[in-house]
Amino acid sequence: MSEITSGPQLGATPGPRPEAIKAIPVRHHWRWVSAVVVLALAAQIAYTILVQAGLQWQVIGHYLFQRLILGGILVTLELTILAMVVGVILGIVLAVMRISPNPVVSWVSWFYIWFFRGTPVLVQIFFWYNLNSVIKVIGLGVPGTPFFLLLGHTNSLISPFMAALLGLGLNEAAYMAEIVRAGIISVDQGQTEAAQALGMTRLLLMRRVVLPQAMRVIIPPTGNETISMLKTSSLAFVASVPELFTRGDQIANATFNVIELIFVVSIWYLAMTSILTVGQFYLERYFARGSQRELPLTPLARFRRMLFTGHASPPEFVAPAPAVPTSEHR
Amino acid sequence: MVKSEAVHKSFGRLEVLRGIDLEVYPKQVLCLIGPSGSGKSTFLRCINHLEKIDAGRLSVDGELVGYRQQGDRLYELPDADVCKKRSEIGMVFQRFNLFPHMTALENVMEAPIRVKKLYRSVALEMAQQLLERVGLGAKLHVYPNQLSGGQQQRVAIARALAMGPKLMLFDEPTSALDPELVGEVLDVMRGLAEEGMTMIVVTHEMGFAREVGDTLVFMDGGVIVESGKPREVLANPQQERTRSFLSNVL
C-alpha cells in the first residue's frame, strides 16, 4: 500500500537535499589474487631474460644509438610516411572511382583492389625489385618503334627504395580504398541530395560535402594502418633498402650478436609505435568533437583522477557540455 | 511554371505515381496533401531531377525535366545540364540536411561560390542578408548542431534562396519539428509567398495550406484525387477519400 503524501504543486520549490549516500564499498578479492599471479609470471620472465639468457647488455646499449641504426630509423620513417601518402591519396581516388556510376571506372577500381589486396605485400615488393630483369625500359607505346615515349630505364627509375615504396604504397592503397569507401557510405544520403538539389556536380559534392564528413570514420583506421605500415616497412629488407631492420640484420651478421640486435631494433619499433599510438589517441579525440557527448579522458587526466579519488572508473559527475544556445524568438 | 502531364514513376514493381496531371503558374503557392506513401514527395523529387520519370511529360518553365526534345526524339540530358537545372530550383527537406561541418553562413555561401561562381565577397553579403531575413542574423557563425530544429530549417531555406531559384519545393518542411517551432518556419514561408515566390509545398499543416496556399491538391495512391481552392476543399471535400483523410487529420 502506498499513499501519495504530497502531489506536484505548481511553482513548488525543491525540498532540502538529503544527505549524500555513504556505503561500504564491495571488496574485490580476485583483484589481489590476479595481482599475485601476474607478479609471479613477470618475475619468471624477468629472470629468464636478465639472468638465464646471458644477454650482453652493453652491446644493446652500444648499438641502440649507433649511427647506422639511427640512419636506418630515418629510412624507416621516410618509407612509412611516403607509403602512407601514396596509399591515402590513391586510396581516396580508388574509393571515389569504386562508387562512380561509370561502370568502366568502377570496375577498374574493383580489379585494382582485388589484385593488390589479394597478393602478399612481400611478393609485390620483390616483384618491383626484380622488374628490371624482364623489362629494361619504361615508357608509353611499343619499344623499338617510333611510337614510344621513353620515360627512363628501369634500373634508374626503380631504385631499391622505390621498389619498396611501390610495393608498400600500392598495396596500402587497396586497403585505404576500402576504408575510405566505408567512410563515404557512412555519410547520410540526405547530404548528397541536399548538395545535388543545390546544383553541385558529383565530384564537387564529394570533395566539399561528403569526404569532409567521412573523415571522422576514416581517421581512426588510418591511424591503425600507419602503425601497421611502420612495422610492415621492415619487409623492404628483401629489396636491400637500408631501413632499421636491414641495418640491424647487417650488424648482427657481422658481429654475431643476433638476439642483442633484435632487442635494439624492437626497442626502436616499440618506441615509434608508442609515439604514434599517443598521436592517434589525440587525433581521434579531436575528430570525435560534436559527435560524442563526453570526450574520453586523456591519460594524464585519468592518472590525476586515480591519485585523488582512488579509482580510474568513470566519474560521478561530469560537467555538462556547453549549453545549446536557446532559440531566439522574435 | 511547372506542367505535369500523365507523369508515371515506379520503383521496381511498385508504381508510386500513376498519372499526375497538374499545372503550377508563376507566383502560385500549391500545397500537396495526402497520406504517406501517396507519392507527394516522389512527385516533388521528380520536379528537381532527383528521380527520373518513367512515362508522361514533366516540364519546368517550358523545358522538359531530364530530357531535351529535338524533332520527335527525346535525348537524355548530360549531368552538367541536369546540375544547372537543379541549381535554378530551390528545395527544402524534411530533415533539413544542412552541412554539419559548415557554419550557418558557410552553408548558405557554399553553392553560390562553388556552383554559381560568385565572388566570395558578393556571396558573403548575400548570405548575411538572407540569414538576416529568416531571423538568424545573430547566428551566422554557429554550426547546425548548435541550432534548434526551427533555426536549422530556416538556414536551409536561406541556403536554397541563395541560388536565386525561380521555384521553391518544400518537402514536409515542418514535419520533423517540435510543435512550438513550426510557427517560425511557416512565418518565413508565408513571407516568401507574399513576395511572389512560386512554391510547391508538401505539408500536413492544413492551417498553412488554407491561409497561404492558392491551390490545394489531395493525392492518394499515386493519383490526384481532388484539387481546388484550399478553403473549399478543406470545408467541403467532394470525394469520399478526401473526406475520410481530412476527418482523420483535422
Contact residues of A toward B, CB < 8 A = 188, 190-191, 193-202, 204, 208-209, 212-213, 290, 324-330
Residue of B nearest to A291 (CA): B145
- Predicted pLDDT at A315: 46
Q: What is the pLDDT averaged over residues B149-156?
A: 95
Find chain A residues with C-beta within 8 A of B163's C-beta: 198-199
Q: CB A327 to CB B181 under 8 A?
A: yes
Q: What is the pLDDT of residue B155?
A: 96
Helix %, strand %, coil % of chain A (to 5) = 70, 5, 30
Element (H, E) at A249: helix A244-255
| Cβ count within 10 A of residue A105 | 14
What mean pLDDT do residues B54-73 have?
A: 89
Please give the backbone phi and psi of residue B230, each rounded to the nearest 5 degrees, phi first. Answer: -55, -45
- C-alpha distance from A193 to closest chain B C-alpha (Å): 8
Q: What is the pLDDT of residue B165?
A: 95
State whether A200 and B111 contact (CB < 8 Å): yes
**What pLDDT shows up at residue A318?**
44
- Of the candidates B48, B5, B22, B39, the one whose C-alpha atom is nearest the C-alpha of residue B165 is B48
User: What is the per-residue pLDDT for A51?
Assistant: 85
CA distance B241 to B250: 14
Q: Which three cell numbers stand for residue A202?
A: 558529383
Which cell numbers hold the place of B131?
540569414
B168, closest residue in chain A (CA to CA): A197
Whether A190 sits inside 8 A of B97 (CB atoms) is yes
Q: Across the strands, what pairs with B67?
A: B76
CB-based contacts of B210, cutoff 8 Å, min separation 6: B216, B230, B231, B234
CA distance A82 to A252: 28
The predicted structure's pLDDT at residue A288: 63
Residue A72: which residues within 8 A CB-CB, separation 6 or more? A242, A243, A244, A245, A246, A247, A248
Closest CB to B99: pick one of A204, A209, A325.
Answer: A209
Distance CA A116, CA A124 (A): 8
Q: How much of chain A exceeds pLDDT 90, in percent?
A: 58
Do residue B142 and residue A325 have CB atoms under 8 angstroms apart? yes
Mean pLDDT score of chain B: 93
**Contact present, A216 and A291 (Cβ < 8 Å):** yes
Q: What pLDDT, on a 0 to 100 scale, did the predictor assign at position B90?
A: 95
Contacts of B97 in chain A (CB under 8 A): 188, 190-191, 193-194
Q: Do B101 and A213 touch (CB under 8 A)?
A: yes
Chain B CB contacts of A183 under 8 Å are none
- In this prediction, residue A316 carries a pLDDT of 44
Per DSSP, B50 falls in state: S
Beta carbons of A202 and B79 less than 8 Å apart:
yes
Q: State residue A16's pLDDT score.
A: 84
Count how many pairs of residues, chain A against chain B, have C-beta atoms within 8 Å: 82
DSSP state letters, B79-148: HHHHHHHHHTEEEE-TT----TTS-HHHHHHHHHHHTS---HHHHHHHHHHHHHHTT-TT-TT--GGGS-
B92-103: pLDDT as tens digits: 999 999 999 899
Mutation target to probe the B interface, by most B beta carbons within 10 A, among A198, A293, A328 is A198
| B108 closest CA partner among B129, B80, B88 | B129
Inter-chain residue contact B50 with A325, CB threshold 8 Å: no
The phi and psi torsions of B218 (rounded to 5 degrees) equal -105, 120
**What is the Cα–Cα distance from A301 to A311, expressed in whole angstroms?**
12
CA B186 to chain centre: 13
The pLDDT, as a whole number, for residue A296 is 67
- CA–CA separation, A325 vs A160, rounded Å? 59
> Going residue by residue through chain A (330 aa), what tens digit of pLDDT does each one get?
455 555 555 666 778 888 888 888 888 899 999 999 999 999 999 999 888 888 888 889 999 999 999 999 999 999 999 999 999 999 999 999 999 989 999 999 999 999 999 999 999 999 999 998 888 888 888 877 888 888 888 888 889 999 999 999 999 999 999 999 999 999 999 999 999 999 999 999 999 999 989 988 898 899 999 999 999 999 999 999 999 999 999 999 999 989 999 999 999 999 999 999 998 888 777 766 555 555 667 777 777 777 766 554 444 444 444 444 444 443
Residues B5-55: tens digit of each pLDDT: 999 999 989 999 999 999 999 999 999 999 988 999 999 999 999 999 999
**Chain segment A214-231, per-residue pLDDT in tens:** 988 898 899 999 999 999
Distance, in Å, from the CA atom of B175 to the CA atom of B153, rounded to the nearest integer, reads 11
Query: Which set of grid coordinates corresponds to residue B82?
Result: 541536369
Which candidate, A209, A322, A201, A216, places its Cα nearest to that of B106?
A: A209
- Alpha-carbon gap, residue B88 to B165, rounded angstroms: 5
The DSSP output letter for A101 is S
**B118 has pLDDT over 60:** yes
- pLDDT category of residue B214 using cuts at 50, 70 and 90: very high
Cα dihedral A208, A211, A214, A219 sign: negative
